[in-house]
Amino acid sequence: MLAPCSFASERLVYRAADFPTDDAFLLETFRDPATQMGYFGGVTKPYAVRHMENWKKHLDTNILSAVICLQAEDGSAGEPIGVVDLEKREMGGPQNRCCGFGLVINKQYQGKGYATEAMEWIVRRAFVGYNMHRVEGGVFSWNTAALSTYRKVGFAEEGRRRKALWEEGGWHDDVTVGILAEEWYARHPDVAQQV
């Protein structure tokens, strides 16, 4: 019998975005300049409600988008703390089974291991739930916390565009990270890979 991937991990619950209920949380999260730099790159700017519309469309086009919530005592979704997603990356066609990821944790919840837990969950969904062959992402070199998180989950640095981003008075590298299905399954021998 198949065991479906749960929409929960040890301390977190993953649910669909609920607009306009989540607007205030997402606006607060993306108004933080460090969050903007890490997620969007480029020059930071005051973030307004109108900016949310494009981001909502982005969520709707993803393979999977989830609001990350603290798990309430009854196991349901409690307070939202971030967003995680799998993005389409067809690279010549869907037969390549490649996707990207996005992750944002509200600044007041950073440094508590939630990013690592959410990344473990989304990568498992990619390989077990969606039968992806590869998950990839980009991170700017100044974001050492994110790089550390991705390495913990098993991502390898695959490339580096040197001095690709001008941010806050200096140049920063754009780092590409990736993990293959066989690498993930080797780290999780308790999960049987289906052929």
In a domain, 6, yes or no: no
In a domain, 52, yes or no: yes
Residues 18-75 pLDDT 10s: 888 898 999 999 899 888 888 877 778 888 878 788 878 888 889 999 999 999 999 8
Q: How many domains does the chain have?
A: 1
Instruction: Supply the pLDDT for residue 1.
Output: 41
Mean of pLDDT over the chain:
90
**Is the pLDDT reported for residue 2 higher than 80?**
no
In a domain, 55, yes or no: yes
- Which contiguous run of DSSP H or E holds residue 87? strand 77-88
State the Cα–Cα distance between residues 142 and 124, nearest whole angstrom: 27
In a domain, 127, yes or no: yes
| Whole-structure pTM value | 0.91
DSSP string, 113-173: SHHHHHHHHHHHIIIIIS--SEEEEEEETT-HHHHHHHHHHT-EEEEEEEEEEEETTEEEE
Range of the domain at 114: 12-135
Overall average pLDDT of the 114-137 stretch = 96
For residue 87, give the CATH number of its domain: 3.40.630.30
Please tell me whether residue 48 adopts helix, strand or coil conformation: coil
In a domain, 188, yes or no: no
In a domain, 106, yes or no: yes
- Please give the structure tokens belonging to residue 136: 């990839």
Contact (CB, 8 A) for 114 and 68: yes
In a domain, 66, yes or no: yes
Cβ neighbours around 106 below 10 Å, total: 20
State the Cα–Cα distance between residues 143 and 177, nearest whole angstrom: 13
In the block, tokens 């607007």 appear at 23
In a domain, 179, yes or no: no
